Chain A
Amino acid sequence: MINKILNFILGIIILFLFYFLSVGILHLVHIQFPPTILGLILLAIALITGIIKEEWIKTPSEWLINNMAMFLLPFIAGLVAYQSMILKNLIPILLVIFLTTTAIIVLTGLFIEYGTAFIRLRHWRKNHHD
């Protein structure tokens, strides 16, 4: 039990270390980029190269990802401060959500569906020419 708790805390510390590492790197190279996103890229690289072992961060990572939506609640509660701005732009906001989401889902779906079908067709043709 105690081992599990320590393991969890260690995992969280590792995740924070990747964040601070990213903040440092971005500060040095003077690039405007969200440090958490650089952190996730670096974490993936560290896991693939084996610098970080999967079991060190597995449990806390899965727990954090499963509860990620909960961490957004302060942002939603904070919406109240922007009430007038949102009400003024309500129709454009809703239009954007409906129209662009429909377009992205349908077009991306078709893109991948026909993209992979095209590649399979080419493979098939190549194999049947030989």
Chain B
Amino acid sequence: MINPMGLILSVCLFKGFQYVKIRGKQIPFPPVLLAGIVIIVILKTFNIDFATYNESGKYLTLSLIPAVVALGYPIFKHRDLLLKNKRVIYAGFLFATVLAIISTYFVAKFAHADLRIIVSMLPKSVTAPIAVEISKGMGGVPELTACVAVLTGVFGAVFGHKLLQMFKVKHDVAIGMAMGAASHVIGTARCAEKGRELQVVMASLALVMVGILTAILAPIFVNIIS
């Protein structure tokens, strides 16, 4: 008999924070971050082993497989947008991906991070489920990747629109792509809160396309630097 504690705790906390967020409006932190922190605190206070948590918690990890595959659906749904303004959009996806990998590497290197930490952070602008897969393949620490990706998403979601306004970026296509490329699902959700449909669509396309490109380019980059 497996211990259902991990699964029950995770689902209840996540759904609880999601409910609070829907009703209580302006909380800049996504439910996954709040639920994650509470779980860590509970495991620490009651001295519960991660293995005990993961006996049933691992079924959540398993659900990531169909969830990532399901991201093919938004590509299909918005395929017509991928055919409009093709050159700029594709160049934009590529630009954001390369910029993310190179800037992450140089800032981390400059700040004297360990190589394994750097590798774990390379896919951080990609939505965490995809980032985790990329990180595993490159020998990174998937747990760290997931957490850094979530924090990146939060940072971008909170400051993104203000930054773009400061630099006079006004087009919904540009805003959406920047938000999706830099802070993936969490940035996309912020665009949805602003009620800009075109931003949301562009952001969700950007997050999947940047995910695919990062999966191709990040391992090549790691091969070059090591």
B residues less than 8 Å from A33 (CB atoms):
137, 215-216
A residues less than 8 Å from B156 (CB atoms):
101, 104-105
- List the 9 closest A-B pairs by CB distance, nearest first: A43-B72, A76-B36, A92-B111, A34-B133, A75-B146, A92-B113, A109-B178, A15-B66, A112-B174
Q: Mark A5-44, 1 if CB is under 8 A from B, else 0.
A: 0000000100110110000000000001110110111111
Q: What is the size category of the interface that chain A forms with chain B?
A: 35 or more
Write the residues of chain B forming the contact surface with A, with a CB cutoff of 8 angstroms. Answer: 6, 10-11, 13-15, 30-33, 35-37, 39-40, 43-44, 50, 53-54, 57-58, 60-61, 63-76, 79, 85, 87-89, 91-92, 95-96, 99-100, 103-104, 107-108, 111-114, 116-117, 121, 124-125, 127-130, 132-134, 136-137, 141-148, 150-152, 155-156, 159-160, 163-164, 167-171, 173-175, 177-179, 181-183, 185, 208, 211-212, 215-216, 219
Counting residue pairs across A and B whose Cβ atoms lie within 8 Å, the total is: 316
27 pairs from A and B in contact (CB 8 Å cutoff): A18-B69, A36-B65, A36-B130, A36-B133, A37-B68, A39-B68, A57-B70, A71-B64, A71-B129, A74-B6, A74-B10, A75-B142, A76-B33, A76-B37, A79-B36, A89-B113, A95-B111, A97-B124, A100-B100, A100-B125, A104-B96, A104-B103, A105-B159, A109-B177, A112-B173, A112-B177, A115-B92
Mostly, the B contact residues are helix
A82: contacting residue among B14, B143, B215, CB under 8 A: B143
